């Protein structure tokens, strides 16, 4: 029997050495399926800017869009722990702005936690949000909102100096109160060390198997996101091909007249031929 995932149950899983599953989600129908499948945590990511809206980066996504998508996901879940991404420039200006927007995401969607990108630079925001009663998931390593600073989507923590910086970021966000941290595109040995040194839960994406859990974008892992496939993505199905084939079959049957067959109509409720003839003559 599935039970509601909470901060407490997730931390207990880490302590027992049990792995935690996480997937992104942006809509009610998919959320229902993920929840029924037993996925522990759902991330309503600002990645929706790319997967749902067709942007090249996550930067254009707004608070209003996050709230709209987040509400849909929450309505589809009973047991999954739902985390809302704080979009670009919704927390960087000030601590007060961060707390206000984190509060909006929780209050207006019904989600369970917020996620914001950055290490030591955003510890003030993390601490203030936690102090206001909102659980925080941090995000370090390759942080997509900093794509222009990094010069692209690149592995972070390569080399001794950079590795120490990423570890310091992890310890800083933990001290600020984050209960969970996404490690994105971090070398696996470094991610393992961070996990070992952390009381908070580590969720890897392109960071190896030693993290406490893993996250993927669901469209990536089911082959729907297009031809580009990041190195860290495993395809658990080729649903993009199946969907395209189904759409093509539908298109062909509509155009040939093969669909809809009688079994897909309400023929038994139709009027008599005689009455329809009268209507034809009358009008």
Residue 226, token pair as written in the block: 């297009």
* Residue 184 annotated among the catalytic residues of the structure: yes
Do residues 140 and 116 touch, judged by C-beta distance below 8 A? no
Question: What distance in Å separates the CA atoms of residue 39 and residue 20, rounded to the nearest whole number?
Answer: 8
CB atoms within 10 A of CB 131: 11
Nearest by Cα to 216 from 12, 59, 7, 47: 47
Three-state secondary-structure class, residue 274: helix
Q: Which of 184, 199, 238, 261 is catalytic?
A: 184
Do residues 194 and 184 touch, judged by C-beta distance below 8 A? no
Helix 63-75 × helix 95-109 angle, to 10° = 30
In which element (H, E) is residue 32 found? helix 28-37
Strands 201-205 and 180-184: parallel
Question: What distance in Å separates the CA atoms of residue 262 and residue 142, rounded to the nearest whole number?
Answer: 55
Residue 118, token pair as written in the block: 């950055």
- What are the phi and psi torsion angles at 31 (to 5°)? -60, -40
Q: What is the CA radius of gyration of the chain?
A: 23
Do residues 117 and 90 touch, judged by C-beta distance below 8 A? no
Active site residues: 184
């Amino acid at each position: 029997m599935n039970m509601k995932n909470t901060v407490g149950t997730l931390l207990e899983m880490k302590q027992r050495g049990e792995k935690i599953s996480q997937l992104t989600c942006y809509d009610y129908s998919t959320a229902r399926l993920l929840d029924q499948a037993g996925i522990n945590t759902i991330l309503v990511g600002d990645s929706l800017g790319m997967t749902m809206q067709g942007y090249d980066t996550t930067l254009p996504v707004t608070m209003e869009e996050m709230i709209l998508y987040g509400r849909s996901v929450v309505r589809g879940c009973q047991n999954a722990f739902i985390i809302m991404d704080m979009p670009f420039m919704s927390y960087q200006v000030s601590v007060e702005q961060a707390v206000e927007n984190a509060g909006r995401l929780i209050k207006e969607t019904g989600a369970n936690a917020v996620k914001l990108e950055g290490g030591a630079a955003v510890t003030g925001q993390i601490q203030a949000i936690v102090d206001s009663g909102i659980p925080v998931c941090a995000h370090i390593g390759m942080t997509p909102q900093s794509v222009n600073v990094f010069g692209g989507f690149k592995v972070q923590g390569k080399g001794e100096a950079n590795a120490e910086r990423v570890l310091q970021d992890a310890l800083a966000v933990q001290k600020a109160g984050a209960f969970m941290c996404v490690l994105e595109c971090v070398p696996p040995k470094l991610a393992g060390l961070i996990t070992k040194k952390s009381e908070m839960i580590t969720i890897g994406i392109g960071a190896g198997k030693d993290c406490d859990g893993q996250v993927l974008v669901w469209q990536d892992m089911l082959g729907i996101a297009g031809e580009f496939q990041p190195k860290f993505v495993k395809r658990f199905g080729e649903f993009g091909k199946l969907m395209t084939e189904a759409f093509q079959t539908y298109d062909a049957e509509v155009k040939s007249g093969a669909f809809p067959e009688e079994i897909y109509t309400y023929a038994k409720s139709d009027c008599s031929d005689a009455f329809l003839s009268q209507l034809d003559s009358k009008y």
